[in-house]
Amino acid sequence: MMYVKVKKELAERTRKELAKLGVISDEYAVEKDENFVYFPVKSCPQGFECVEREGKRKERKPHSLREALKDKLTNDELEQLITSFDIIGDIAIIQVPESLEDKAELIAQAIMKVHKNVKTVCQKVGPRQGIFRVAPLKVIAGERKFVTIYKENGVKMKVDVLRAYFSPRLSTERKRIADQVKDGEVIAALFAGVGPFPLVIAKRRNVKIFAVELNPYAYSLMVENIKMNALKGEVIPIQGDVKEVARELPKCDRVLMPLPKGGEDFLEEAINLAKPGGIVHFYQFAPEDDLYSDAENKIKLVAEKLGRRVEIVNRKVVRPHKPRVYQIVIDFRVY
Ligand SMILES: C[S@@+](CC[C@H](N)C(=O)[O-])C[C@H]1O[C@@H](n2cnc3c(N)ncnc32)[C@H](O)[C@@H]1O
């Protein structure tokens, strides 16, 4: 390999000149000895001293998980790889099919090669379960930890991926809601988790948000997260069951119900909380062949029982959940 050889003290100036000429090779590393620096070059430029050296090829960062594993897994195994995964702060959470279980660590190491910011890789070893909606995880590579700092929509959040629900896949939805909120609103952020919905809203708007969460770990992280961000609005964290807490809250302009599994059991509380003309954001999981009928029927039944009129103002898919099932949202006004 051809190198331009320069005295150490001239290295930075020479590097700039070579870069200007466009002759530096990016496949080889710059080398040094006690007195000289050696820049790898595609050809020897005029006016520079060039020498031949054996040289070391730079290790190129693979662009994708598949590329990082292409020499380590068979084609069959590569086909089975689940290539979509969440990165929350510096923690990646992956799923490994049973057939690749003995390759889990290899896959985790490959993720850390592709995503240099990832310091821990956790494997999801079961589905989300229980009322707290958390999944069992185990660390399979990197630092043994479950707590990280995640940034989204201008806010910072401390997240415990093992003990409290959090999904980065809802960031667009959080922005959609925050964009609708006006200064002065009173909001009930039910099922608040570590606080992402209330924080993203209160960062932008001068509002009062009651953020209700049952899981004590999620609640205490939410308390920290409120302190960690400079907010325009006020977020009042409340630990407890929506069934009980809702009765104590004032009437609201907006009620958020991000509990797609089982949220229907709290429609009565949400509708009662809404001021006349107030809006409720109701989330559900629904099959792709009939996304909205079931959720809308549930809303109408409860509203009828309570003697309230509802107007559906928007319905949309939030994100895919599993094959042929989506998370959806219905925005409705209550009169
Ligand atoms: C799907 S998570 C959503 C969390 C958060 N909004 C987010 O987007 O990250 C639902 C949350 O509701 C909480 N939860 C479940 N049942 C509850 C109840 N009856 N009262 C208050 N919170 C509850 C769970 O602990 C969980 O944190």
Residue with CA closest to ligand 1 atom 24: 132
Radius of gyration of the chain (CA): 27
- Domain spanning 65-145: CATH 3.30.300.110: yes
For domain 165-334, the CATH superfamily is Vaccinia Virus protein VP39 (3.40.50.150)
Query: Phi/psi of residue 270, each to 5°?
Result: -65, -45
Long-range pairs of 265-268 with CB within 8 A, sequence gap ≥ 24: 266/190, 266/242, 267/298, 267/299, 267/302, 268/302, 268/305, 268/306
Distance 169 CA to ligand 1 centre (A): 16
Ligand 1 cavity residues, CB under 6 Å: 131-133, 165-167, 170, 191-193, 196-197, 212-215, 218, 241-243, 258-259
Instruction: Parse the chain into domains and list their residue ranges.
Output: 2-52, 65-145, 165-334
Residue 185 CA to ligand 1 center (angstroms) comes to: 22
- The whole-angstrom distance between residue 217's C-alpha and the CA centroid of its chain comes to 19
Q: Which residue's CA lies nearest to atom 18 of ligand 1? A: 241
Position 58 scores a pLDDT of: 84
pLDDT at 61: 83
* Tokens linked to 182: 């006006």
Residue showing tokens 């029927």: 297
Q: Looking at ligand 1, which residue's alpha carbon is closest to its atom 27?
A: 193
- What integer pLDDT is reported at residue 99 of this predicted model? 95
Q: What phi, psi does 90 have (nearest 5°)?
A: -105, 20
Per-residue pLDDT, 298: 98
CATH of domain 2-52: 3.30.70.2580
pLDDT per residue of the chain (335 residues) written in tens, 0 to 9:
999 999 999 999 999 999 999 999 988 999 999 999 999 999 999 999 999 999 888 877 888 999 999 999 999 999 999 988 999 999 999 999 999 999 999 999 999 999 999 999 999 999 999 999 999 999 999 999 999 999 999 999 999 999 999 999 999 999 999 999 999 999 999 999 999 999 999 999 999 999 999 999 999 999 999 999 999 999 999 999 999 999 999 999 999 999 999 999 999 999 999 999 999 999 999 999 999 999 999 999 999 999 999 999 999 999 999 999 999 999 999 99
